[in-house]
Amino acid sequence: MPQTQFDVVIAGGAVVGSAVAYFLTADAGFKGSVAVIEPDPTYQHCATALSAASIRHQFSTEENIRMSRFGTEFLRTFADALAVDGIRPDPAFHEGGYLFLATSAGLPVLQDNHALQRREGADVALLDAAALQARFPWLRTGDLAAGSLGLSGEGWLDAYGLLQGLRRKAVAQGAVYLPQRVAGIDRVSARVTGVRLDDGQVLACGALVNAAGVGAPALARLAGIDLPVQARKRSVFYVQCPERLPGCPMVIDPSGAYFRPEGPGFITGIAPPPDQDPECFDFEVQHTLFEDVLWPLLAQRVPAFEALRCVRSWAGHYDMNLVDQNVILGLHPSLDNLYFANGFSGHGLQQAPAVGRALAELIVHGEYRTLDLARLGWRRILEGRPVIEKNVV
Ligand SMILES: Cc1cc2nc3c(=O)[nH]c(=O)nc-3n(C[C@H](O)[C@H](O)[C@H](O)COP(=O)(O)OP(=O)(O)OC[C@H]3O[C@@H](n4cnc5c(N)ncnc54)[C@H](O)[C@@H]3O)c2cc1C
């Protein structure tokens, strides 16, 4: 007889759901059972697999800096901590750094953020235009006032490798993955009592975690909750250029365009203008955005990019928190056992380890024990007190 009752059911088994499953099953204080409901074991459409897979400490809020710093620590020890049967998973973490560039208009914010990041222990350095030019001779710096460079801890990784490593270890520790979709939620007053799956199965549960990415608002609606999150399409372009750019980090241009090395080329992207950024679930790449907006910006910043060639491209979706572009984490006040981890707005891959650990603490111990992430809970949303993150890429 298949098991029909679990202490914790996690809806969504990509990086966030798998991180919750891993940390729960790793917690010595947790003796329960965990089911992860994931309809797509290929993961081809989830944000995790389609992301730019980068991690930075250069945020403007303490919580985001702390979460990413823990992400770095986790990645550095990942292969040993998540080994299964002697096989060490490789997240291919490359500490190539981030470089946030600012014109004189953006300098005060860059300086403020830098001061906060230093206070939080981030290994970042402010470089003036001359220092930028000396360190990155391939960069056009005429219009720049400064740049903030991550010296260690920031970089990029294999997102799919991170996800699979978490999933494999969670399974080794007892989590069960079911290839289904949560299609219904049963509630009795302020408690979720179970979930209904696509195939008609009903699973009773002691707690439910919403880790459904852009599927999270629909899932929340099944429990009668309005989650202010929408899917926003982001295209990524893989380009090659005849010239090499030695020491190239993940560069964030003042225009919002980004690029970083990937294999023998680079990946690059930019958010569409706000009035051309509707809720959207299709996967059509925004080629005109590349031709009309992104490429000219890249060529302006790096003359070598005038000769670039776009080799391939893809599109994925941010689960955009419409209130303040930060994760909505933890319990909703109207329900005692439905936990949320949604609305990452483009920085959820790097936050998955910290969020997985945080939710495991909340579920097992009823409180945050390591990082205090209470400010990122539902109250701020319901009371209209947004926690604004200034560095959303
Ligand atoms: C183009 C792009 C670039 C990005 N770059 C970065 C970056 O550089 N760094 C970074 O930190 N983040 C980045 N992100 C964001 C990051 O990828 C996401 O925040 C993160 O992957 C979210 O993980 P998740 O597990 O919450 O969601 P997802 O990876 O989207 O997974 C959600 C899962 O839930 C499942 N699901 C949906 N509905 C249901 C249901 N009803 N029942 C059960 N399961 C369900 C889906 O099948 C899916 O597998 C980027 C995102 C995109 C799109």
Nearest residue CA, atom 9 of ligand 1?
A: 54
Q: Mark which of 263, 283, 318 sits at the end of a domain.
A: 318
Residues 263 and 303 in one domain: yes
Nearest residue CA, atom 15 of ligand 1?
A: 346
* Residue 391 within a domain: no
The arithmetic mean of pLDDT across residues 107-117, rounded, is 97
User: What does the CA dihedral 124, 65, 16, 8 come to, rounded to 10 degrees?
Assistant: 150
CATH code, domain with 278:
3.30.9.10
The CA 208 to ligand 1 mean position distance, Å, reads 18
The arithmetic mean of pLDDT across residues 139-167, rounded, is 98
Q: Best mutation site among 44, 45, 50, 51 for ligand 1, i.e. most ligand atoms within 8 A of its Cβ?
A: 51
Residues 259 and 204 in one domain: no
* Residue 48 within a domain: yes
Reported confidence tier of residue 391, pLDDT bands at 50, 70, 90: confident
Nearest residue CA, atom 50 of ligand 1?
A: 51
* Residue 79 within a domain: yes
Going by C-alpha positions, the residue among 238, 313, 316, 318 that lies closest to residue 283 is 316
The arithmetic mean of pLDDT across residues 258-279, rounded, is 97
The CA 303 to ligand 1 mean position distance, Å, reads 34
Ligand 1 atom at minimal distance to the Cα of residue 214? 30
Ligand 1 atom at minimal distance to the Cα of residue 345? 19
Reported confidence tier of residue 229, pLDDT bands at 50, 70, 90: very high
Q: Mark which of 290, 318, 346 sits at the end of a domain.
A: 318
* Residue 392 within a domain: no
Residue 353: predicted pLDDT: 98
Residue 238: predicted pLDDT: 98
The CA 103 to ligand 1 mean position distance, Å, reads 32
The CA 55 to ligand 1 mean position distance, Å, reads 15
Residue 346: predicted pLDDT: 96
Cβ of 51 less than 6 Å from ligand 1: yes
CATH code, domain with 66:
3.50.50.60
Residues 362 and 310 in one domain: no
The CA 387 to ligand 1 mean position distance, Å, reads 21
Residue 190: predicted pLDDT: 96
Does residue 5 have a pLDDT over 80? Answer: yes
Ligand 1 atom at minimal distance to the Cα of residue 211? 26
Cα separation, 285 vs 272, whole angstroms: 12
What is the tens place of the pLDDT at every residue in 38-78?
999 999 999 999 999 999 999 999 999 999 999 999 999 99
Residue 2: predicted pLDDT: 83
Cβ of 10 less than 6 Å from ligand 1: no
Cβ of 252 less than 6 Å from ligand 1: no
Residues 163 and 304 in one domain: no
The CA 47 to ligand 1 mean position distance, Å, reads 3
> What are the helix (H) ranges across 87-158?
107-119, 129-135
State the greatest distance between any 2 C-alpha atoms of the chain, in Å, as a whole number.
69
Cβ of 47 less than 6 Å from ligand 1: yes
Residues 223 and 247 in one domain: no
Residues 178 and 132 in one domain: no
Are 359 and 348 contacting, i.e. CB atoms less than 8 angstroms apart?
A: no
Residues 218 and 262 in one domain: no
Q: Which regions of the chain does DSSP assign to beta strands (E)?
A: 5-11, 34-37, 54-55, 98-102, 124-128, 146-150, 155-156, 176-178, 182-188, 191-197, 202-210, 229-240, 250-252, 258-262, 265-269, 309-321, 328-331, 338-342
Ligand 1 atom at minimal distance to the Cα of residue 19? 25
Does residue 1 have a pLDDT over 80? Answer: no
Are 20 and 356 contacting, i.e. CB atoms less than 8 angstroms apart?
A: yes
- Using CB atoms within 10 A of its CB, is residue 60 exposed (0-12), middle (13-18) or buried (19+)? middle
The CA 368 to ligand 1 mean position distance, Å, reads 23
Domain with 235 in it: 98-153+230-318
* Residue 92 within a domain: no
Q: Mark which of 262, 290, 318 sits at the end of a domain.
A: 318
Residues 139 and 51 in one domain: no
Residues 78 and 162 in one domain: yes
The radius of gyration computed from the CA coordinates of the chain, to the nearest angstrom, equals 21
* Residue 390 within a domain: no
Cβ of 48 less than 6 Å from ligand 1: yes
Question: How many separate domains does the chain show?
Answer: 2
What are the Cα distances from residue 170, in Å, to 5, 24, 26, 71? 18, 8, 8, 17
Cβ of 147 less than 6 Å from ligand 1: no
The arithmetic mean of pLDDT across residues 185-202, rounded, is 97
The CA 237 to ligand 1 mean position distance, Å, reads 18
Residues 300 and 346 in one domain: no
Residues 82 and 164 in one domain: yes
Ligand 1 atom at minimal distance to the Cα of residue 156? 8
Cβ of 211 less than 6 Å from ligand 1: yes
- Record the tokens describing residue 235, joined without a space: 């295209």
Residues 214 and 262 in one domain: no
Going by C-alpha positions, the residue among 242, 353, 390 that lies closest to residue 306 is 242
The arithmetic mean of pLDDT across residues 334-350, rounded, is 97
Cβ of 344 less than 6 Å from ligand 1: yes
* Residue 93 within a domain: no
Residue 53's CB is within 10 A of a number of other CB atoms, namely: 24
- Using CB atoms within 10 A of its CB, is residue 246 exposed (0-12), middle (13-18) or buried (19+)? exposed
Reported confidence tier of residue 392, pLDDT bands at 50, 70, 90: confident
* Residue 91 within a domain: no
